[in-house]
Chains A and B, each alone.
Chain A
Amino acid sequence: MKKLQCLFVIIFTIACFYSTSAISHFEILQALKTELKRSMDSLYIENLPKPYFIEYSLKVSDVYRATSFLGSIVDSNTTKKATINVKLRVGDYRLDNTNYLDFSFSFFFGGLEESSSTRSVPIDFDYYSLRRELWLATDFAYKSSAKTYSKKIATLKNRIIKDTLPDFALAKPYKFIDTGFTSPAIDFSKICIMIKNLSDIYRDYPLINNSFVSFEYIKDVVYYVNSEGSEYIKPNFFTGFETAGSLQAPDGMPLNNFYSVYSTTPNNLPSYDSLQRAVKSICKNLTELRNSNTLEDSYSGPILFTEQAAGEIFAQVFLPNLVAQRPLLSEQGTQQLSRYNAFQTKIGGRVLPDFMSVHSVPLKSEFNNIPLIGHFKVDDEGTPAENLTLVENGYLKTLLANRTPTKRILKSNGNDRNGSPMFSNIEIVSNSKYSKPYRELKQKLIQLCKQRELPYGIIVKKVMNQNIYATVFPLISPIEFKFSGEQNVITVVEAYKVYPDGHEELIRGGELKGITPQSFKDIILVGNKTYLLNLLAPVISSSFSSGGYVSASILAPDLLFEDAEIRPMDFDFPKPPYLENPLILND
């Protein structure tokens, strides 16, 4: 029977393939450039300003996705997509249509008309069809940019604006053509069998109510040209494996655990055996968690963050503040930044203990032979990537920026990702005097607890990841997904109480509360080993548009905080299941 199923999957996969278009890289760039030139030369409506800058990008993607449940495929599909995105600016570098929040338009706009500067292109596009789609997208972009520009001018006429920053930074043309890549082949039917088998492991753990196993492989090639003469062709390969399980403790407390691993190509994923071990360890941990003790009271004291937890809290709480943000102007005035604004005016100030430094290293492609998924050579605006020191010996040096000038950063440092500045590969390093082996960190934790007369300390090994929380848990968790949860609350997935004698006890139901970017100054020691966390991080966007998730890599040591807080989950738990899991029935 099993063999028959495999056959079916294979057939399905074959049916999903189709021929790819035969247009060459050169012809694609040529189509982009020709249409760009035509638009720059002739796109003009009387009494409206002409475009001074246009950029075109075309993204061609092949996507393979599959999910599996208890040994059976739930979803498996392959899709091919081609999308163009046009950005067009009217006015000049000093003052153009951007950095302005226009609420009134774009709602109710559209119907059957061109309503976006992002358009799908036929999957087997040719030179003509590409130019046709660019033509329509550019026309829309021009009209909407001109409209926004006139609104912005009108707003400015009525206000005394303190912000006299230019809207767009000048940049030298840069060319980066990477056509030497080979798209790694993928045996999708084999992958489907792999995730089927991995999902089958959950069957042996019937206390786990619901589970999820998925695989995703995205092959992108992006073609880019702009009117300043920059151009690039860059491939991007992304592979992800995610699994999660959910159960309820006898008191109803919902418990989740997950494992995710991201890489460039499927060949770079961990071996089947290692994935199998990871799934088993999640299952085991969840089963243990179910019977573990809860945190009876809020804990305030030293906390040691190790492995995934160290990288995650850095990525979720600290790093978003290292992104330069430009407040937007609107009819109501300048919109103040509400999120991740802790360090916008802090350049030169101390943000970490003086033994710690943070580097942005997009050019670094590997760590111990494992690919860093945040790696790139040219950013999405065509600016060459560079490695930067963001925090040096505790002091903030600079922020990550794109070509949108901000008060402190006037030029791009090559960090535009999906239209906003964003972090990519981040390396957190420390003076060796403060880098200690795990054993010593634990001892220090115990010592601090003794000093404060605390009965125990806490080690956090894993916390919830934002992407997993938003995309996987709604599918398997018995609790309603809270879209905008309380800020600064991070669910703890795996944590231990550490008693003075050194023994550890697994606890469940903790939430990290009140960890702010400033809390990182309270780090007193770090580990002497570096843990690599490849993750999908939500783009920090200053406007309301969501930039989605981008791949990032965090290289972080374990972190010992002198003072942090964990509280027990404080909501009403859903009732545990009324009926037993069918997995344990013998009917």
Chain B
Amino acid sequence: MKKLIYIAFLIIICLTSNFIHAQDEKIIVSSLKKELARFLDKLKTEQYPPYYLSYIVFDIETATISNSFGRTATKNNSRNKILNIDLRVGNYTLDNTHKTEIDAFSFSSYQNTKLPLIGDEKALRTSIWNATEKAYKDATKQYQSVLSNRALKVKEEDTSADFTQEIPPTIYFEPKETYRIDLDKWERIFRRVSTLFRQNKWLLDGKISFSFENQYKIFVDSEGAEISQNQPKFRINIFVRTKADDGMVLYLSKNFFGFKEEELPPEDSIKSALVELIDKLKKLTNAPLMETYSGPAILKGEASGVFFHEILGHRAEGHRQKDPRSAQTFKSFLNKQVLPEFIDVVFDPTISELNGTKLSGFYKYDDEGVKAQKVVCIENGIFKNFIMSRSPIENFPKSNGHGRKSYGYRAVARQSNLIVESSKKVPFAKLREMLIEECKRQGKEYGLLFEKVEGGFTFTSRTIPNAFNVLPIVVYKVYTDGRPDELVRGVDLIGTPLTTFSNITATADDMEVFNGICGAESGPVPVSAASPSILVSKIEVQKKEKSEEKPPVLPSP
């Protein structure tokens, strides 16, 4: 009987909280719209009236639990509503966001205003009012410095406007989803699987975590756009770390991603992933150190995906092409060959799945209220399009739905789901044979096979050499004389974009997805990169930075 009452109680709670949500969304939208209209109206007689104003509310719900060596390390729920404002004075051609030298090194951040969680209209509007007052004062101050800076400087190379005009405005509404996350369930699962960490005393870190986050975003702007959308993300992350006797820190991680909780793997799969990870780390600990090398290599799908994300993706972000400090690698390559002709690269935020794998770069509308669009960046090896936010550049006067940010930042063009497609595919076994052949041709004893990478980074500015660095964690030597592949450690894959691209000679018929979080000037955003394995006739590796610290003096207790 008690149980029944309990269930009934739970149902009532769910219903009421749903009801509150629906009410709440309406109140937020109407509060935002009222303040927006009021500011535009009252400020129109000022010297610098706003010509554009947008509000975006990030209603963020999270639930996370992590386990370290068999014990629950953290367990948290949180709910926050954060308001960001984009207020622009001047006009579409020249406004307060125009880059000046004064802010050259500042990340374009702006104020986060926490809104009441369940607010009536007056409370919400007072918060919005206070924040907009501040945003307006900041904008006029910035605009003034833009104007004076302009008078002092030579004519800019790229004279395109500061903001695109997007017509017609988008209207889209999704009610806020309600999620019931049972952290206790995950706690029990993690308790069971994490006994493996305790059994391996050589591990310095053994963590497994579950995280849920739904960002319910409400966007309204002065052009009439009104968008509400859910962006749920469920993740499981396993992380193991140890230290080799020579001091090198070694680690491996495995991520699972889904848009629904049921898309995450069952306990058995988590357990086997954990076993596999520990096993591989053990092997890595005993693996020999790799020397500097230059020669042919295969980048497996995941590694290749990250490679494309770093080398191509960041250079295809539109707004960089008008930043005078950016190297603008592809600006002069528009409609020219940059990759072998059998390769296409697209950025497609409109798909949520590829060959059964969920893609974390999926969204319906970007953070500037523009509908997500598929962008063909490379077609038959020819550079066709930049990914665009609402910051236009020469020849690209419109956004293509890639203006993204995390709260607290100003949106810029960011990647979504990067997909590398090839028309020159061979089975993976054949690609491996081709690698060996290429090695023999170049007189190399072995080629390299990059199986897993943790990520990478790249420099796109003019002041630093325009190199990229992909950080592999699982690398094999593939010998030409038929010896078995040998696991090695301690190298990073480096190079410069254009040269490396021209060395891609073939791809496999496989496809792997890397789901990750990309960090750049508009904050961390979820992205994915999918690619077949690729064969590169010449890559270069350099020694990984290595710690000088000895492993712990005493054995683990």
Contact = CB atoms under 8 A, between A and B. Distances in A.
Interface of A: 4-5, 7-8, 11-12, 15-16, 18, 21, 34-35, 38-39, 42-45, 67-77, 79-80, 111-114, 120, 122-126, 128-129, 131-132, 134-136, 139, 142-143, 203, 209-210, 478, 574-575, 577-579, 581-583, 587
The 9 A-B residue pairs with the shortest CB-CB distance, nearest first, are A72-B116, A122-B71, A582-B125, A70-B123, A131-B557, A122-B73, A72-B119, A139-B552, A124-B72
A74 to B, nearest CB: 5
A129 B553 contact: no
A38 B35 contact: no
B20 to A, nearest CB: 6
B76 A79 contact: yes
A74 B124 CA distance: 10
Identify whether the interface residues of A are mostly helix, strand, loop, or mixed.
mixed
B528 interface: no
Given A8-B20, A69-B116, A71-B123, 4 more contacts: A35-B557, A139-B552, A579-B38, A587-B34
A579 B68 contact: no
Contact of B116 (A73, A122, A575, A583): A73
A385 B77 CA distance: 39
Interface stretch (B133-141, B168-176, B314-322): B133-141
A178 B447 CA distance: 65
Given A77-B78, A132-B69, A578 B46 contact: yes
Contacts of A72: 116-120, 123
A575 B137 contact: yes
Contacts of B73: 120, 122-123
B117 A74 contact: yes
B249 A111 contact: yes
A64 to B, nearest CB: 13
A245 to B, nearest CB: 12
A128 B133 CA distance: 54
B16 A7 contact: yes
Given A69-B116, A73-B117, A143-B549, A579 B134 contact: no
Contacts of A75: 80, 114, 117
Nearest to B247: A113
Nearest to B34: A587
A134 B17 CA distance: 43
Contact of A126 (B71, B78, B549): B71
Contacts of B243: 113
Contact of B547 (A68, A73, A111, A579): A111
Contact of A136 (B70, B123, B552): B552
B463 interface: no
B249 A113 contact: yes
Given A8-B118, A74-B115, A43 B553 contact: yes
A13 B136 CA distance: 37
B233 interface: no
A77 B68 CA distance: 23
Contacts of A577: 129, 133
Contacts, number: 158
Contacts of A478: 133-134
Identify whether the interface residues of B are mostly helix, strand, loop, or mixed.
mixed
* Chain B interface residue number, banded: 35 or more
A123 B75 contact: yes
B554 A43 contact: yes
B42 A579 contact: yes
Nearest to A574: B137
Contacts of B553: 42-45, 139, 142
Nearest to B206: A132
Residue of B78, B133, B136 contacting most chain A CB atoms (<10 Å): B133
Interface in B207-265: 241, 243, 249, 251
A359 B270 CA distance: 61
B137 A74 contact: no
Given A11-B13, A209-B130, A579-B38, A18 B75 contact: yes
19 contacts: A7-B16, A8-B16, A11-B17, A38-B554, A42-B553, A69-B127, A70-B116, A74-B116, A76-B117, A111-B547, A113-B243, A114-B204, A123-B72, A124-B72, A128-B557, A132-B557, A143-B550, A210-B130, A578-B46
B441 interface: no
Contacts of A11: 13, 17
Nearest to B118: A5
A203 B79 CA distance: 24
B72 A122 contact: yes
Given A15-B77, A113-B249, A579-B129, A45 B550 contact: yes
Nearest to B140: A575
Contacts of A120: 73-74
Nearest to A21: B71
A4 B16 contact: yes
Contacts of A111: 249, 547
Nearest to B126: A582
Contacts of B126: 69-70, 210, 581-583
A122 B191 CA distance: 12
B35 A582 contact: yes
A8 B17 contact: yes
Nearest to A125: B71
A112 B122 CA distance: 47
A87 B547 CA distance: 23
A139 B243 CA distance: 13
A16 to B, nearest CB: 5
Nearest to B73: A122
Nearest to B123: A70
Contacts of B251: 112
B122 A12 contact: no
